[in-house]
Chain A
Amino acid sequence: MQFGIFSVGDVTTDPTTGRTPDDTERVRAMLTIAEHADAAGLDVFATGEHHNPPFVPSSPTTMLGYLAGRTRNIVLSTATTLITTNDPVRLAEEYAMLQVIADGRMDLMMGRGNTGPVYPWFGKDIRQGIGLAIENYALLRRLWEEDVVDWSGKFRTPLQGFTSTPRPLDGVAPFVWHGSIRSPEIAEQAAYYGDGFLHNAIFWPMEHTAQMVNFYRQRYEHHGHGRADQAIVGLGGQVFMRKNSQDAWHEFRPYFDNAPVYGHGPSMEDFTRETPLTVGSPQQVIDRYGAFWEQVGHYQRQLFLIDHAGLPLKTVLEQIDMLAEDVVPVLRREAESRRPADVPANPPSHAERVAAARAAGKAPATGRAPEGDRWTGRTAEDDTALTA
C-alpha cells in the first residue's frame, strides 16, 4: 500500500503570526515538501491544479518535471489534473513528456475542478462539466494509445492525422486515477476504463466514501477488469500530529478555526469525529486510518493533506517525518498482513504496466519510432516526397 501527501497549494495567512507567504515562497515550499517526502521515504507526492488565487500550482507538469530530476523514489502525481478545462491534446503531450522525464515514476489523477469561473477562462462551459470530462478523457486515451489519430467531437476542433509527441514511455500510457467526491458518473468512468478511483474523503463521513468506493468496485467488476475487491482505490485524508495528543489539539486549533475550507463552521471536535481529519498522536492516526479498510476494503493509496491552512513549512516537514517514521511503516505492515494474495498491494507501476501490455501483445518489445503523421512526416525526405 502506498502512502503519500497531496497539496492544494493554498496561500493562507498563518493565523498565529499574521504572516502570509508570497507566491514564490509557497511554490518553493511545495518543492521542499516534495523533496523532503521523498527523502523521508513516503511513496507519493501529488499536487493540485488551480488557476485562481490563493492557489499557486497552475502548472503541475513543470513542478513535477523538476521534482522528477530532484527526487529518487517518490511517485509524482496530480490531485487533480483538470480534464474539463485543459485541452486533451496538451494533456497528452505534457504528461507523456513528464512520463519520459520521470522514467515512468509518475501517474496522474483526473478531476473536473470545483471552481466555476475557471471554465470560461479556458473557453469552456461549466454546464458541460460531465460531458467535457467524458469526451476529453476518451480523446486523451486515444492520443496516448494510437500513434495517428483522426477524431471529431463536440468540444474541440477535429483532429486529422494527428500524432501527439513524445509517444508514451515504452509505448504504455501513464496510469490514471479519477477523483470524485459526489459524482457517481466519474466512478463509473474510472470503472469503465479499469482506471484507479480516488475518493477525497476529507470533508465526508466514511459511510459516504464507502458508498462511492463500493459503487466503483461493483462497476469495475461489471466492466470486466477483475473482481470488485481487486479494483484500484485511493483515499484522501488529513492529519495533524504531535507526540502528545493535547499538544496537537492546542497547536492545530487556530489553523482549523481559520481554515478557508472549514473555519468558522463546525467545531474541531465535531469535524474530527465526523470526517477523517485526525488531530492527535501518531498512534491515534494509526488507529483511525488503519480501520478504514473495514469500510472500503483493501485499498492501494492513502494520501494525506498536511500543508494547508497557513501551517509553517517547518511544521509541515515535521509532519512528514512523523508520518514516515511513526505512522506509515505500521500502517503498511498492517495492510500487507491482511491483504488477500490476489488483490494488488499497490497501484500498477510503469514496469508492471509495460509487462502486462507486452504479455497482451499491446506494446512493442523494444523502443521504436512512431508512425508519423503524413503532413510532417518523420524526415525531411518524407516532406519532399509528399510535395513532389
Chain B
Amino acid sequence: MPSRSLVVVSGGLSQPSSTRMLADRLAEATVADLAARGIDTVVEVVELRGLAHDVVDMTLTGYARPDLAAAQSALAGADGVVAVTPVFAASYAGLFKSFVDVLDPEALRDTPVLLGATGGTARHSLALEHAVRPLFAYLHADVVPTSVFAATDDWADAGTDDVKPLPARIARAAAELARRVAAREPVQRGGLYDGVPSFEDLLGG
C-alpha cells in the first residue's frame, strides 16, 4: 500500500483546544478517505503552542531551534497539510502567522492544503476566506475549495444546521484534500542539496 504523509498544524493556544479538536477531525476524515482509495497515511501533528518560544526566537535570531526545525522539515516533506487556526480579532492567530513567517516561502509550494478555523460565533467564519486563504495563496499552496469553520455552536449541533452540519462540512473538505493528495506523486525526500545547480550552469545563467 503506497504511503503518504499528512502534516496537521494546530494553532490552538489552550489545552484542551477546540482548534486541535477540529484539526484532528479533519485529519481523521482525510485519512479515512485516502484509505478508501487504497492509500496508507502517516499523520504528524504540529502543535504551535509547544513551539511558541521557538517561533519567537527564530524571528529574533533567524535560526530554527531543533523542535521548530523538525516541524518545518515535516511540512516541507508533506504530501498534504491540514492547517487550523483560532480566529482572533477577525483574522488568524498571531502565533499562527508568526509560524508561517518563519517558514521557508517555498516549503508549501503546490502542496495540497485544507484550511480550518475556530471561533466563538459563526459570524467570524469568513476570516478563513479573507485572511487565511490569501496567506496560503502567497505561499503558492494548493488550497482546497472548502475550508471549515467551527463555531462554538457547531460542537453542540446535532446535525440540524440549516445549511450543513459540521460533520458534513468536514467530510466534504477532507474528500477534496484526499482527492488532491491521491492524484499526486508522493513528495520525493531527496538529499538536502540535490537541487543545487552546477557551477557551470550558474556561470552560464
Contact residues of A with B, CB < 8 Å? 130-131, 134, 138, 184-185, 188-189, 191-192, 203-205, 211, 215, 223, 261-266, 270, 274-275
Contact = CB atoms under 8 A, between A and B. Distances in A.
A131 B199 CA distance: 11
A188 B62 contact: no
Majority DSSP secondary structure for residues of A touching B: helix
A188 B197 CA distance: 8
Given A184-B193, A262-B61, A270-B65, A223 B199 contact: yes
B198 A203 contact: no
A188 B201 CA distance: 11
Contacts, number: 50
A266 B197 contact: no
Contacts of B57: 265-266
A265 B55 CA distance: 10
B63 A204 contact: yes
Interface residues of B, number: 20
A221 to B, nearest CB: 14
A131 B204 CA distance: 10
A304 to B, nearest CB: 19
Interface centre among B56, B193, B200 (most CB of A within 10 A): B193
B192 interface: yes
Given A138-B203, A184-B193, A185-B196, A265 B66 contact: no
Interface in B52-102: 53, 56-57, 60-63, 65-66, 69
Nearest to A191: B199
Contacts of A270: 65
B202 interface: yes
Contacts of B60: 262-265
29 contacts: A131-B205, A134-B202, A134-B203, A138-B203, A184-B192, A184-B196, A185-B197, A185-B202, A188-B196, A188-B197, A188-B199, A189-B199, A189-B202, A191-B199, A192-B200, A203-B63, A205-B66, A211-B192, A215-B193, A215-B196, A223-B199, A262-B61, A264-B60, A265-B56, A266-B53, A266-B61, A266-B65, A274-B65, A274-B66
Contacts of B199: 188-189, 191-192, 223
Given A185-B202, A188-B199, A266-B57, 19 more contacts: A134-B203, A138-B203, A184-B193, A185-B196, A188-B196, A189-B202, A192-B200, A203-B62, A203-B63, A205-B66, A211-B192, A215-B192, A215-B193, A215-B196, A223-B199, A262-B61, A266-B53, A266-B61, A274-B66
Contacts of A204: 63
A263 B57 CA distance: 9
B65 to A, nearest CB: 6
B96 to A, nearest CB: 20
Interface in B107-142: none
B65 A188 contact: no
B198 A188 contact: yes
Contacts of A265: 56-57, 60-61
Contacts of B53: 266
A195 to B, nearest CB: 11
Contacts of B192: 184, 211, 215
A308 to B, nearest CB: 14
A189 B198 CA distance: 9
Interface string B174-205: 00000000000000000011001111101101
